[in-house]
Amino acid sequence: MMAAAWWTTLGLFMNLGGVVLLFLYGIPYRARSGGHQARVLSQIDEGKKKREARDDKLGWLGVMAIIFGTVFQARGAFLA
């Protein structure tokens, strides 16, 4: 019984963390500009490109946290 509660609680916290990451950094399927500015396509903003790469990685981390959190909650439900 105690193991089920731990799995469920861990799953809930992972889901919460994943949702927070998605709100902060966006869903990773968003179209990225690759550092190109809207007005001038010949210049690449390296800072923007790095931020987009970071946001993409953290977005995927959020999605994975939600997936694993759901699996952990299901495991807790089956153990109960």
Identify the pLDDT of residue 57: 93
* Segments making up each domain of the chain, as ranges: 2-79
Q: How far is residue 6's CA from residue 44's CA, in Å, rounded to a whole number?
A: 48
Q: Are 11 and 67 in contact (CB under 8 A)?
A: no
pTM above 0.85, yes or no: no
| pLDDT digits (tens), the chain, 80 positions | 689 999 999 999 999 999 999 999 988 776 666 655 655 566 777 888 899 889 999 999 999 999 999 999 999 999 97
Identify the pLDDT of residue 46: 86
Query: CA neighbours within 13 Å on the CB side: how many for 4?
Result: 7
Specify the DSSP class assigned to residue 44.
B
Find tokens 């992972």 and name the residue: 14
Identify the pLDDT of residue 65: 97
